[in-house]
Amino acid sequence: MSSETASTPSSSLDALSSGGDSLIGMAMIGKTAAALALVIAIILLCTALLKRLGNAKRAGGHLQLIGSTAVGNRERVVIVQVEDTWLVLGVGSGRITKLHERPAPAAPVEDEPPVAPSSFAKRFSQALAHNVTKKHRVKTPPSTSETDRTP
């Protein structure tokens, strides 16, 4: 019996040590996960800062898109203003080709002045009003010939 009692404390120590190892392993996994989360948070923070700083640089730059139109599925003609020069560029399938260069006009180019709203809305509302009044006039009591019929 003494051998059994002697082996029992050692087996309980083994159980404790194996439980401790699993706790230590879980702690290591937790630390690793926390470190990974920290690295991802730093990457996201740096990305947000770079986007903010990158937009600030572009806003004050000397490059401005004046106009663009598609000439094919993947091809476009683009007019870009660089300081006081307009560049007409052909853009497509991974290539950019300078088509023409000219000095920028003195006054900024504005689109056509906004056209006053057409009178369509006015005509449409008049037509609706006319139809509504027409319906009210058409509604008359049924004629006596229909009510006089007996089944």
| Residue tagged 């990305």 (tokens) | 47
Contact 89, 75 (CB under 8 A): no
Closest residue by Cα to residue 66 from 115, 100, 34: 100
Using alpha carbons only, what angle is made at residue 30 by residues 24 and 34, rounded to the nearest 5 degrees? 145
Under the banding of pLDDT at 50, 70 and 90, the label for residue 120 is confident
Closest residue by Cα to residue 102 from 90, 89, 112, 115: 89
How far is the CA of 94 from the CAs of 74, 75, 76, 128, in angstroms?
10, 10, 12, 54
Pairing of strands 85-92, 75-82: antiparallel
pLDDT in tens, 45-61: 999 998 888 765 555 56
Q: What is the pTM of this model?
A: 0.35
pLDDT in tens, 23-50: 788 889 999 999 999 999 999 999 999 8
